[in-house]
Structure 1
Amino acid sequence: MGGYPFLKGHGTENDFVLLPDHDGAVHGALDDARVVALCDRRAGIGGDGVLRVIRTRSMARIDPALEGRVGSAEWFMDYRNADGSIAEMCGNGVRVFVRHLIDEGLVPAGAPVPVATRAGIKTVSVASGTDELVADLGRPLLLDSSTVTVGNASWKARHVDLGNPHAVAFLDDADDLGPHGPVGPLLDEPGYDHDLYPHGVNIEFVRRLGPAHVAMRVHERGSGETRSCGTGACAVMVATADADGASRNTAYAVDVPGGRLTITWTADDRVLLQGPAVIVATGTTSL
């Protein structure tokens, strides 16, 4: 059986299988079963999700519903969670996606790279003086409060939308960053707000460490607990900065189990996510 190419990459240990499918000829309508097989950490390559690297015009042919919604960006990030479900955006993923484009010379050297996603165009650039990448995730929506319930425990949370939904729950200093084990989208938990989160929600448990410095753990819909979540870290930063009354352009350090991300909410209402993006392996697979 012939194989097809893949890459493995991560951003603060939020890891992905990348499928170079530039003209949409290899994978067609990428199905749930293949995504699940690729992300399987024992029988597959392993990852929190799959990033298909495809030209926007080719993606629009595969999914006509995207026609007219993805702008003029050449490249489209077709992102799937580990369970095969489609996600609108991935902040760590879009940096890894652009790292691949830069490494392969598929985008002009040194120029900001616009990437089309189901949450609109996100622009990624190389951080000055570093090898890290900065993703402009656009304008955040700071919305209503909600409640996160796991078993018999509940936490007040802030609903933040960054193209995908997040519930940011602040913990007491004595808490150990929330519950361990499977949490997922909480669709079956008592008190889950189906009206507020009709498509599930990513949940961040947050503890303050100091001025403009927090630590978090995240449970992502469709993937469970992950080592990091870029949009989740940005949601945490926005909710924390709002609670702190922090001035715009204040850089927050957000520690995740897989490392540290630096996030700035700018004066013109943009959220900038800076962090590493690393390709660790390439190969071919028959999965």
Structure 2
Amino acid sequence: MSDAYPFAKGHGTENDFVLLPDPDGTVHVDLTAGRVRALTDRRAGLGGDGVLRVVRTEAVDEARGQDAEWFMDYRNADGSLSEMCGNGIRVFGRYLVEEGWADPTRPLPIATRDGVKTLRFDGPDITVDMGAPRLLGETVIGVGGWEWSARHVDMGNPHAVAFVEDLDDAGPLREAPLHDPATYPHGVNVEFVQRRAPHHVAMRVHERGSGETRSCGTGACAVMVATAVADDAERGTPYRIDLPGGTLRVTWTTEDRVLMTGPAVIVGRGTTSL
């Protein structure tokens, strides 16, 4: 592998990622935890909440058999694997289109560690079919000596959704919120939610492996599902989810699918020594 390796940088509602193209799986990028941490370092690296390796499904043993040409090989900022990333998959799709590897006029299936997700493009926005949510009961999370009841929602990765009076209640979120390790043996994404208006909430999120981020797509979906259940809302009711980095629109359909819509942009390209 050459010392100069191409990369792209993109974000979805300011949830940002380093993209590494390896379309045929021939470059053999060794994404060790140390290398991922170096790439995502905001002072000494390229900076980001995670790394997306862009590779064809047929080149990845764990992805073979999924009905999609491309596989999103995603790492959190600490180098750990993640099953799914809602903002990341929109950025991934935008990159494929800009590289001429996908047609934005047609639905685009993308393989992930949580199965195939299908994207649809509408100008700057992309809608992702995130699949069926799973509601797994109540749990408790804690920050700085305070505790909140939270709803356990699985969107292919685990989430604990807690409703608060004020988003500042959770404090600076420098450390991962306390949680039940028996419920979440591999960690959990934690969302704090404040109601703004009917079918409109704001949230903050601490993502496992990345810390507090400006946005989390799967987290916004989990928040919408938890809020819709609390509201006893009819299926198909659209919700607005405000995050520090922007706004996502989420609908839980009568077919038990969660559809998330939001922007995704590629902001730069270059080469790195990895």
Instruction: Give the TM-score normalised by the residue count of structure 1.
Output: 0.92
Amino acid aligned to 1:218 = V
Match status 1:89 vs 2:90: no
Matches within 5 A, 1:64-213: 66=62, 70-127=65-122, 130-172=123-165, 174=166, 176=168, 178-184=170-176, 186=177, 189=178, 192-213=179-200
Measure the CA separation in 2 of the matches of 1:91 and 1:131: 16
Give SS of 1:108's match: coil
Asked whether the 8 Å contact 1:177–1:207 carries over to 2, the reply is no
User: Which residue in the other structure is 2:203 paired with?
Assistant: 216
1:226, distance to aligned residue in structure 2 (A):
0.2
How many pairs align?
Answer: 273
Indicate how the Cα distance of structure 1 residues 177 and 122 shifts in structure 2: closer, same or farther if over 3 A, else same: farther
Aligned partners of 1:157 and 1:170 also within 8 Å? yes
Conservation of the 8 A alpha-carbon contact between 1:177 and 1:216: no
CA change 1:23–1:176 in 2 (3 A) is same
Q: CA deviation at 1:109?
A: 3.8
Q: Give 2:70's aligned amino acid.
A: W
Match of 1:63 in 2: none
Say whether the 8 Å CA contact 2:164–2:194 is kept in structure 1. Answer: yes
Q: Indicate yes or no: 2:257 matched with 1:247.
A: no
CA deviations on 1:54-77 (whole Å, 9 max, x unpaired) are 0011122xxxxx155x51211000
Shift of the 40–175 alpha-carbon distance from structure 1 to 2, 3 Å rule, reads: closer
CA contact (8 A) 1:177 1:206 kept: no
With the length of structure 2 as denominator, give the TM-score of the two structures: 0.96
Structure 1 residues 208 and 253: CA distance shift in structure 2, 3 A: same
Structure 1 residue 175, shift from structure 2 partner: 5.2
Q: Percent identity?
A: 61
Q: Cα gap change, 1:27/1:34 in structure 2, threshold over 3 Å: closer, same or farther?
A: farther
**Structure 2 unaligned regions, length at least 5:** none
The alpha-carbon deviation at position 29 of structure 1 amounts to 3.8
What is the rounded CA distance, in whole Å, between the counterparts of 2:106 and 2:6 in structure 1?
26
After superposition, the CA RMSD in angstroms is 1.3
Q: Which whole-Å deviations, capped at 9, do the CAs of 1:24-49 have from their partners, x for residues lacking one?
A: 22234421111111000011000000
Unaligned runs of 5+ in 1: 61-65
Residue in structure 2 matched with residue 284 of structure 1 by the alignment:
271
2:222 aligned residue (224, 235, 239): 235
Give the Cα–Cα distance (whole angstroms) in 1 for the partners of residues 80 and 125 of structure 2. Answer: 28
Contact kept in structure 2, 1:177 and 1:217, CA below 8 Å: no
Question: What is the aligned partner in structure 1 of residue 246 from structure 2?
Answer: 259
- In structure 1, C-alpha distance between the alignment counterparts of 2:104 and 2:225, rounded to whole Å: 31
Query: Would you say the 8 A contact 1:77–1:94 is kept in 2?
Result: yes
Q: Is the 8 A contact 2:194 2:202 kept in 1?
A: yes
Contact 2:160 2:188 in 1 (8 A): yes
Are the aligned partners of 1:35 and 1:50 in contact in 2 as well (CA < 8 Å)?
A: yes
